[in-house]
Amino acid sequence: MSRIAGRFAQLKEAGRTALVPYLTAGDPKPDATVPLLHTLVRAGADLIELGVPFSDPMADGPVIQAACERALAHRVRLRDVLDMAAEFRSKDAETPLVLMGYANPIIAMGVDIFAEQAARAGVDGVLVVDLPPEEAPAIRQALIDYGLDEIFLLAPTTTEERIRQICGQATGFLYYVSLRGTTGAGRLDMEDVAERMKCIRTHATLPVGIGFGIKDADSAAQAAELADAVVVGSALVDRIQAAADPHAAATELLQDLRAGIDAAGRTGGAP
């Protein structure tokens, strides 16, 4: 069983929804990332998404764009992100780690070299925002060869036929983009999300996470009613960036979200 599947199995057993924080690797500087990842785990993260900085993050809102720019100012490359993953993994054998980013840095490295080195660094899954299933064959075989989960996005605009198709292709978990927009945007329409999640659940055998637009304990709690995992990115990146003590700020936000999620779990809403 993959580390991701194992973690979701444990959580299910315990009746809990996963808290999945996102950080852009190398933001605000390269040596900040690994200590922050350990802090996230101590503060209640069940799984971590580590963003690979890219010069043209077209699906990201202003907060993560700025994080990418800060990381790139230190010339953080995919290779460096894999080193960070390996360093994290050397002290934490349990917490699943997913790389999230864009296709071009992976293509530039070479997909086979990337998959081999990612697996060796202890990465568990890969989510490439601009590789929808049609274009994913570019990396699929390499991910399979090295035992990496291939995580896909589902969007409010995804048709039921595509949901079925993507559910058949994805491994690890599915990530429902809960709003029309970029990361960190807008407010969630929970009724709409609930409707879509119902449809996704009829096709999905994998756990389903909800992300984009989760900001606080309230929105996390609402998402937790519907999902197996709640992803928080921009709110966390923003909080860390603004704080004098990033570790304290990250811990505070995650504990807050954790409390919201667990409260939702106790009301019996989570599947």
Partner 1 sequence: MPHSSFPDGYRWPDAEGHFEEYGGRFVAETLIRPLDELAAVYREACEDADFWKAFEEDLAHYVGRPSPLYFARHLSRANGGAQIWLKREDLNHTGAHKINNTVGQAMLAKRIGKTRIIAETGAGQHGVATATVSARLGLQCVVYMGSEDIERQAPNVYRMKLLGAEVIPVTSGSKTLKDALNEALRDWVTHVEDTFYIIGSVAGPAPYPEMVRDFQAVIGREARRQVQEQAGRLPDLLVACVGGGSNAIGLFYPFLEDSDVRMLGVEAGGHGLDTGEHAAPLARGRAGVLHGNRTYLMEDEAGQILATHSVSAGLDYPGVGPEHALLKDLGRAEYTSATDEEALRAFHLLTRTEGIIPALESAHAVAGALEAARGMPEDAIVVVNLSGRGDKDIDTVARREGLSL
160 is catalytic: no
149 is catalytic: no
- Compute the distance between CA of residue 50 and CA of residue 99 in angstroms, rounded to an integer: 5
Give Cβ neighbours of residue 40 (< 8 Å, ≥ 6 apart). Answer: 21, 23, 48, 250, 254
Compare residues 44 and 133 and give the one whose CB is closer to partner 1: 133
The strands making up 97-101's β-sheet, listed across from edge to edge, are: 149-150, 125-128, 97-101, 48-51, 18-24, 229-232, 208-211, 174-177, 152-154
Closest contact distance (angstroms) between CB of 41 and partner 1 is 28
- Compute the distance between CA of residue 72 and CA of residue 35 in angstroms, rounded to an integer: 19
Annotated active-site residue in 13, 31, 56, 60: 60
**Binding residues for partner 1, per CB under 8 A?**
54-62, 65, 69, 72, 77-79, 102-109, 129-132, 134-135, 152-159, 162, 177, 180-182, 185-186
Compare residues 127 and 224 and give the one whose CB is closer to partner 1: 127
Annotated active-site residue in 49, 150, 228, 238: 49
Closest contact distance (angstroms) between CB of 180 and partner 1 is 6
Closest contact distance (angstroms) between CB of 68 and partner 1 is 9
Compare residues 46 and 176 and give the one whose CB is closer to partner 1: 176
Contact 227, 209 (CB under 8 A): yes
Compare residues 177 and 253 and give the one whose CB is closer to partner 1: 177
Longest Cα separation, the chain: 48
Closest contact distance (angstroms) between CB of 257 and partner 1 is 24
Q: Where are the alpha helices (DSSP H) in 215-245?
A: 217-226, 234-242
- Compute the distance between CA of residue 71 and CA of residue 25 in angstroms, rounded to an integer: 7
Task: Give the residue numbers marked as catalytic.
Answer: 49, 60
